[in-house]
Structure 1
Amino acid sequence: MIYLDHCATTPMSRPALEAYVQTAESFYGNEQSLHDHGDYARQLVRHCQAELASVINGEASGIFFTSGGSDSNISAILSLAYGNQARGKHIITSPLEHPSVYQALEKLKTEGFEVDEADVKPNGEVSVISLEEYIRDDTILVTICHASSETGVIQPLEDIGAVVTKHGICFHTDAVQTFAKIPIDVNKACLSALSMSAHKINGPKNTGACYIAPHVSWQSIYPRVVHQQGFKPGTLDTAGIAAFATAAFHMHQQQDQLYAKWRNMQHWLLEHINNDHAVLIGDKNKRLPHHLSLRLHGYEGQWVMLHCNRQGIAISAGSACKASYTDPPKSLLAMGLTAEEAHGLFRISFGIDTTDDDLNALAYTLNQCVPSVKPSL
């Protein structure tokens, strides 16, 4: 089967698998233990923290390990909100976020926090002007994704960071879809925190990390926890962490080559599908290089996904973490699409092993969906 759903998850790479096995065999000690086996594991974890931090130009001491991207988002948002609530309880986000962001914010709403969503431009970018208009004296946190998993549009983090910093507000971004794939500098973007996940970059599932800048105030959501400076309880999965850092290193090393390859694939596919029938959703240029969000006139995205699946091609009808496909994606409604148009969303996402033959097969399959034109009498 041709796999073109790499924004949902990716297969583990050979280097990541080897790192996992070697670590599980040789560094099985609990990194909290005081004996030598514990110290070996602890030193390896510290090395992995430094490796991951280097990808985002952050500090190793700001890396905290989690069970994945959703856990990173929820843990970061709650920790920052609780750590800064003495200054206020107002948070700003967008309609473009991952479900885990809304889950954290819904919990905070039950605790007296207020949440506003900034407007979105028709091209899928958050309006920085709208975001700034929502800022109040009691605003303590802004959380905006680096790129939406549904639209693939890259957000203007540096512009947002400049505004947020001017007002002394914490700034978190969900970088699960972008980490190691496109450049990100936490200092240039004035980011307080960033979420990342291993299984989006050919690492293991159930492994992720959250970066919180060492100078930022945060409060643990777990009482009396000693692990990871109190950030999260539980013995660290050293093997998973090593595989994560290895996957990040290799993805980051290939970043420029993969960017060029994926951009070419994007352009080729857009040129070879029926443009009278297929519509690109979101900005054509300010988007992830490996991601295409499309709709076909007259078809629901889930139908297109199932049609491709019958032809041996795996694509997506939206975020794999959505509770239901019955509701149209709010990100697309915020961009001005109708509910019917939003239901047409399907997503194609390339990986490191995607080939030209894969794209040829996909273009042929999508073009099969174009209604036949009856000849005039």
Structure 2
Amino acid sequence: MVIYLDYAATTPMSEKSLHVYNEVARNFYGNTSSLHDIGSTAKVLLEESRKTFASFINGDSKGVYFTSGGSESNYLAIHSLLKGNRKKGKHIISTRLEHSSVGNTLEDLKDHGYEVTYIPVNSEGKVDIAHLQEAIRPDTVLATIHHGNSEIGTIQNLTEIGKILREHHILFHSDCVQTFGKVKIDVKEANLDSISVSSHKIYGPKGVGACYINPECSWKPLIQNTTHENGFRPGTVNVPGIAAFIAAAEEIIPTMEHDAKRYHDLRKKLIEGIQDEAWQVTEIGPMGNRLEHIIGLTVFGMEGQYLMLECNRYGVAISTGSACSVGMQKPSKTLLAIGKSNEEAKQFVRLSLGKLTTDAEIEETIAIFKKIFRNYFKV
């Protein structure tokens, strides 16, 4: 039996999402830019999908742009907003906890004259509001701060952050890939100018996502003369993937509160089950206001990569952090940012729960963890 506990990296497609994908691919195969009836039929479905997505985030359907996923959404949102607001300045505010698609984009922008201030976070990974206010300058044009941390599950208070940024007329982008379908997102309440989400985190297909940009914001296409998605991105629109993404969202959003409660109970069972005087397991992250399905752990004296490989040998899939970090384990950037040492950061592993996770799987995982610990610590 294989036990999958890496849902924060990706999820299997739901049966409904698979069914919708197949049906739309078979019956709505027209290019939405074509003027004939087959293209127009696909266009109608695309626009309905746009309206439905907007309703999930309390946004305007005119601001919804479908993309290939969260990474592209982050890249395009940041570049398009900056390109449309060049006169406002070249200073950006962010954190060291952002997804690599944001972090790499910001590093690249430094080569084009932009200056980035990375504000610190506290021991739970939450943005320090006082430091945020101190970082604001007359030439600050954009702040990009993620909603939910992919390694320890910390949820940022976007409403509090957005209020401050709006008072200073600073554009606000948030990577919401880990939180969409898990917790409520209200772009108006949080004064969000743009967000990014991804389909494959919520049991939809890979290679599909969405970017929302407030229609009242000024933005310019990254590539001139692009026609698809109102000029936001080039390429024929993936209608079957988008429809399957929306189908997955329609399934998961009504069950968010129920799922969070179930994940809370499962994680409590897991944490209590693996504790023992013979070894030191520490749960990393906030005790409240968190993504309940993401469980960050360190085991004193054991490298995370060793534990991950041993779990894999016993048929349990976990990770050492972000799925976008490849190769030999590096110290978790999240743990370093919250004040942990290099050694502690290398001891980090992440387990993430999903809709298919059962009590029996957690019980088996506890038994496997204990077996690995006993063999390693010779107890």
* Band of TM-score, shorter chain: over 0.9
Distance 2:328 2:215 in 1: 39
The amino acid of 1:308's aligned partner reads C
Instruction: Check 1:275–1:148 CA distance in 2 against 1; reply closer, same or farther (3 A cut).
Output: farther
**Aligned counterparts, 1:1-377, within 5 A:** 1-274=2-275, 277-371=280-374
Distance 1:217 1:342 in 2: 40
Stretch moving more, 364-373 or 232-241:
364-373
What is the percent sequence identity of the aligned residues? 45
Distance 2:265 2:305 in 1: 26
Deviations 1:85-119 (A, max 9, x none): 21100000001110000111122111101101011
Stretch moving more, 237-246 or 54-63:
54-63
Distance 1:275 1:96 in 2: 31
- The answer to whether the 8 A contact 2:319-2:350 is kept is yes
- The answer to whether the 8 A contact 2:320-2:329 is kept is no
Instruction: Check 1:40–1:275 CA distance in 2 against 1; reply closer, same or farther (3 A cut).
Output: farther
> Gaps spanning 5+ residues in structure 2: where?
none
The amino acid of 1:98's aligned partner reads H
Query: Normalising by the residue count of structure 1, what TM-score does the alignment of the two structures yield?
Result: 0.97
Distance 1:118 1:231 in 2: 30
Query: Normalising by the residue count of structure 2, what TM-score does the alignment of the two structures yield?
Result: 0.96
Stretch moving more, 3-12 or 78-87:
78-87
Distance 2:77 2:152 in 1: 23
Question: What is the DSSP-based 3-state SS (H/G/I as helix, E as strand, rest coil) of the residue aligned with 2:373?
Answer: coil
- The answer to whether the 8 A contact 2:120-2:131 is kept is yes
Distance 2:130 2:369 in 1: 38
Instruction: Check 1:374–1:342 CA distance in 2 against 1; reply closer, same or farther (3 A cut).
Output: closer
Instruction: Check 1:259–1:323 CA distance in 2 against 1; reply closer, same or farther (3 A cut).
Output: same
Distance 1:338 1:252 in 2: 37
- The answer to whether the 8 A contact 1:181-1:252 is kept is yes
Deviations 1:35-73 (A, max 9, x none): 111111111011111111111111111110111111111
RMSD: 1.4
Give how far 1:275 is off: 5.8
Give how far 1:197 is off: 0.3
Stretch moving more, 188-197 or 328-337:
328-337
The amino acid of 2:81's aligned partner reads L
